[in-house]
Amino acid sequence: MEKTENQHKSDIIEVCRRVYAKGWVAANDGNVSIKVSPNTIICTPTGMSKGYITAEQLIKVDMTGNRIEGELEPSSEVKMHIDVYKNKPGVNAVVHAHPPFATGYAVAGIPLEECVIPEIIVSLGSIPLAKYGTPSTMEIPENIRPYLKEYNVFLLQNHGALSIGEDVFRAYYRMESLELFAKINFIARLLGNVNVLGEEEVKRIISIRENFGLSNLNYPGCRIDSKFVKSADSNGKDRAAPSSNNPVVQESFKEDLAKERVFISDNQKHIELSKEKLVELITAIVSNIINKVKS
């Protein structure tokens, strides 16, 4: 049974409140949309907090971004939403937010591609890094477009994250999975090691996807060193990370391959630390901050 426009608006409001409550957006950040017909989308307006948005404040626009209904202006990022709808059939919802851990990886220029957590391997595969584009311009949609065929979640360099789905709650839950994965990955890096699953185990996990009804979906695979493991019905050869042309990402891969030492420099002093010592130093700093807060 198809939902009414009022039901779609209620869904957008619910997702906006969840995103705000989780701290994935601040002030007027973020935007959410649903495609309600082949030529019409309902989206959040610009300049409004997602935590307190109402149905009356939502905007209806056509597939060129022109406002059809509503008093406020549509989100300045509506171009990004429309481009997704035009270039990936079956997508009916888009969520854009700035979840802290995922956005931290986006700012660092590091895609989340390793085969690490079974649930993420099954549901998302890898998460690519779309190179930086100026907000509110066509640069961001153009930089996302090469990844649309296979991926449903994207890191936007120096910006945030984007998730898409068949409905707005699937798009939201993908964002939720992304942020949890980013947080776990960050903690593992802080502890000194990201234990990547072996190729045979990853293939077994991928085969389980059929039990979740996901065998008919495009699957981007995930990375074991420089190799991508994909489902048996995925075409294409093993490939390097999709963001590997980015020099920042190339450096992060080099750092992963040379885990023994870390070099810190401020142009005057050069310090060489082992990874173990660096983790000890960071742990001590964090403990000191926590103790000060408690006191």
Confidence of residue 125 (pLDDT cuts 50, 70, 90): confident
Q: What residues contact 169, with CB distance under 8 A and at least 6 apart? A: 11, 15, 93
Per the annotation, the verdict on 77 as an active-site residue is yes
How far is Cα 279 from Cα 9, in angstroms, rounded to an integer?
46
pLDDT of residue 259: 44
pLDDT of residue 242: 37
* Angle, vertex CA 2, rays to CA 215 and CA 58, nearest 5: 105
Task: Out of 30-39, 158-167, 234-243, pick the least confident.
Answer: 234-243
Report how many helices (DSSP H) and strands (DSSP E) the chain contains, helices first. Answer: 9, 12
pLDDT of residue 282: 74
Q: What is the pLDDT of residues 249-284, one digit of tens each?
A: 444 444 444 444 444 544 555 566 666 666 677 777
φ, ψ of residue 127 to 5 degrees: the values are -120, 115
φ, ψ of residue 61 to 5 degrees: the values are -130, 160
What percent of the chain is predicted at pLDDT more than 90? 63
Q: What residues contact 95, with CB distance under 8 A and at least 6 apart? A: 15, 19, 30, 32, 162, 163, 164, 165, 168, 171, 172, 174, 175
How far is Cα 162 from Cα 174, in angstroms, rounded to an integer?
9
φ, ψ of residue 263 to 5 degrees: the values are -110, 130
φ, ψ of residue 166 to 5 degrees: the values are -70, -25
- Does residue 85 or residue 239 have the better pLDDT? 85
pLDDT of residue 281: 73
Classify residue 60 as exposed, middle or buried by CB count within 10 Å of its CB (0-12, 13-18, 19+).
Answer: middle
pLDDT of residue 120: 92
- Catalytic-labelled residue, pool 73, 77, 114, 201: 77
* pTM for the predicted model, two decimal places: 0.77
Q: What is the pLDDT of residues 55-91, one digit of tens each?
A: 999 999 999 999 999 999 999 899 999 999 999 999 9
- 95 near 153, Cβ under 8 Å? no
Shortest CA distance to 234 belongs to which of 219, 224, 223, 222? 219
